């Protein structure tokens, strides 16, 4: 393997995340193995979104199969390509619909986590708006030869802003959305922090009553549990109009919808998801991509999963030709993540070994033969199925690397062949539910 060239910041982030059993936020491309076809299919979706259409995909797999990892991969790629990206994990407090503003809570999380290439860690709402305003000011200055303090300059800037806003005014709630964007511009022009903050609060869905919004901004509507998805479509259209390629929304832990105990509430969430699916598939949304990560049970359980609804079953069930041909389909609405092969696991461990050595400044000491021994030991103790969905295996391996680095007198073989070596995995507990496990996915 060629010598890796990765910054200390990235190697540290990788090691800390992997050692804690969570998907890294940065550097995932350095440990990506075995998901080339899935990723290529999602990248094609990005091309389509940039052309003005919409896309909706499910990433389905069991615990440890790679859902969160591939979501992170496509997130990073989308930002590099010029998309606005946002993501949220569903939970008991954040759903798609509910009786206590659980859908609005998801919207607020998505607004908080808006990210761009220049603001990859989230919180990009202000930079998106002000970057656009600055761009328009530069265009006006170049076209007219005037400067920001010259008479009439601000009026010409507002004219250009309204030209963009009118493209979204015909959409549902588009007029109100456009009014708030104009309000933000006026606050920016007048250096009125109170007006700017009120506009931001409205855009983030933070007003609780229409009376409060009317007093602050003069609008009679607010973003609520019923309307939040309409505003996601508006955001997608808006960011595309101001120079980005579109909006990519990533929603993980959809199993939390499957786990809703109340049938009425669960079906309400599935219906909201169906609306999102139909809108994107029927091109009722533009420049919008939605990717949902969920377990096999969330999709296929005939009693509580999506398959319990015939409308969902018809849209997402695998074609009989897939099973007949014995192949994987990557272009349909559902991408199913198959287990990694032993060769892919070996490649992953090789990369982890090199990253660990690079981070701590030593020559890597583990050979391919030793890595194969580690894999075989896991297979013997847990079975091949547990190994090939990595889960906790990677965390065990990172711990092993730490121990060997800190204790050079300890032999590798003594560690993995000793009677006290018990690989940790959720699958070892007969009572563990894969859907209740904390997922680390590769």
Q: What is the pLDDT of residue 423?
A: 65
What pLDDT, on a 0 to 100 scale, did the predictor assign at position 429?
Answer: 37
- As a whole number, mean pLDDT of residues 64-91 equals 94
Share of the chain above pLDDT 90, in %: 69
- Asked if pLDDT for residue 275 goes beyond 70, the answer is yes
Contact status, residue 146 vs residue 140, Cβ threshold 8 Å: yes
Between 16-25, 79-88, 185-194, 423-432, the lowest mean confidence (pLDDT) is in 423-432
pLDDT of residue 262 exceeding 50: yes
**Percent of the chain whose pLDDT exceeds 70:** 90
Q: Evaluate if residue 327 carries a pLDDT over 70.
A: no
What average pLDDT score do residues 1-17 get? 84
> Would you state the pLDDT for residue 435?
40
Across 60-86, average pLDDT: 92
Mean pLDDT of 87-91: 97
The confidence band for 62, taking pLDDT boundaries of 50, 70 and 90, is: confident
Average pLDDT over residues 114-132: 97
Q: If you average pLDDT over residues 355-367, what whole number do you get?
A: 91
* Position with higher pLDDT, 399 vs 387: 399
Spans of all domains in the chain: 342-429
Backbone angles phi, psi at 75, to 5 degrees: -60, -50
Q: Is pLDDT of 418 > 80?
A: no
Measured between alpha carbons, how far apart are the two ends of the chain, in Å? Answer: 20
Binning pLDDT at 50, 70 and 90, where does residue 431 land? very low
Range with the lowest mean pLDDT among 124-128, 208-212, 319-323, 406-410? 319-323
Give the side-chain half-sphere CA count within 13 A for 275: 15
- Over 90: is that where the pLDDT of 325 sits? no
Q: Measure the CA angle with vertex 260, ends 257 and 263; round to 5°.
A: 110
Q: Kind and range of the H or E element at 344?
A: helix 342-360
Question: Taking Cα atoms as reference points, which of 5, 437, 41, 24 lies closest to residue 253?
Answer: 437
- What pLDDT does 26 receive? 87
Give the highest mean pLDDT range of 100-104, 159-163, 389-393.
100-104
Average pLDDT of the chain to the nearest whole number: 89
Q: Is the pLDDT of residue 269 over 90?
A: yes
Determine the Cα–Cα distance for residues 33 and 89; give it in Å rounded to an integer. 24
Both structure tokens of 120: 């990859």
Is the model more confident about 387 or about 56?
56
Which segments of 204-337 does DSSP mark as H helices, in order?
210-217, 228-241, 255-258, 263-281, 296-300, 310-316, 320-325
What the block records as the tokens of 286 is 């533009």
What are the pLDDT digits (tens) for 28-51?
888 888 888 999 999 999 999 999
Nearest to 222 by CA among 207, 232, 236: 207
DSSP state letters, 167-211:
TTTTSTTHHHHHHHHHHHHHHHHTT-HHHHHHHHHHHTT----HH
**What pLDDT, on a 0 to 100 scale, did the predictor assign at position 442?**
40
């Amino acid at each position: 393997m060629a010598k890796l060239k990765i910054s200390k910041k990235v190697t540290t982030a990788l090691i800390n995340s992997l050692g804690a059993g969570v998907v890294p936020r940065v550097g995932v491309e350095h440990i990506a193995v075995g998901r080339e076809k899935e990723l290529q299919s999602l990248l094609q979706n990005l091309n389509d979104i940039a052309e003005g259409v919409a896309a909706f995909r499910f990433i389905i797999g069991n615990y440890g199969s790679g859902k969160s990892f591939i979501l992170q991969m496509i997130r990073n790629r989308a930002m590099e390509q010029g998309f606005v990206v946002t993501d949220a994990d569903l939970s008991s407090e954040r759903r798609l619909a509910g009786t206590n503003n659980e859908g609005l809570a998801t919207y607020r999380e998505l607004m908080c986590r808006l990210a761009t290439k220049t603001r990859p860690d989230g919180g990009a709402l202000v930079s998106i708006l002000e970057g656009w305003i600055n761009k328009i000011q530069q265009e006006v200055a170049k076209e007219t030869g005037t400067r920001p303090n010259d008479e009439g300059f601000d009026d010409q800037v507002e004219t250009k802003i309204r030209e963009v806003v009118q493209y979204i005014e015909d959409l549902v709630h588009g007029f109100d959305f456009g009014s708030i964007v104009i309000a933000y511009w006026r606050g920016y022009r007048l250096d009125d922090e109170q007006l700017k903050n009120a506009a931001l609060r409205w855009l983030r869905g933070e007003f609780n009553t229409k009376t409060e919004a009317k007093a602050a901004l003069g609008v009679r509507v607010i973003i609520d549990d019923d309307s939040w998805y309409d505003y996601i479509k508006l955001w997608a259209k808006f960011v595309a109009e101001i120079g980005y390629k579109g909006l990519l929304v990533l929603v993980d832990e959809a199993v939390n919808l499957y786990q809703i105990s109340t049938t009425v509430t669960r079906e309400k969430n599935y219906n909201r998801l169906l609306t999102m699916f139909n809108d994107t598939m029927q091109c009722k949304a533009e420049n919008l991509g939605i990717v949902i990560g969920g377990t096999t049970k969330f999709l296929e359980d005939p009693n509580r999963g999506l398959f319990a609804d015939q409308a969902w079953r018809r849209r997402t069930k695998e074609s009989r030709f897939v099973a007949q041909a014995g192949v994987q389909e990557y272009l349909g609405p559902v991408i199913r993540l198959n287990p990694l092969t032993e060769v892919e696991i070996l490649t992953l461990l090789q990369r982890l070994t090199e990253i660990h050595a690079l981070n701590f400044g030593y020559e890597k000491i583990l050979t391919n033969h030793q890595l194969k021994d580690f894999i075989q030991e896991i297979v013997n103790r847990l079975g091949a199925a547990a190994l090939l969905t990595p889960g906790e295996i990677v965390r065990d391996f990172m711990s092993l690397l730490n121990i060997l680095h800190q204790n050079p007198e300890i032999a590798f073989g003594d560690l993995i062949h000793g009677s006290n070596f018990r690989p940790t995995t959720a699958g070892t507990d007969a009572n563990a539910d894969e859907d209740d496990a904390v997922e680390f996915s590769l």
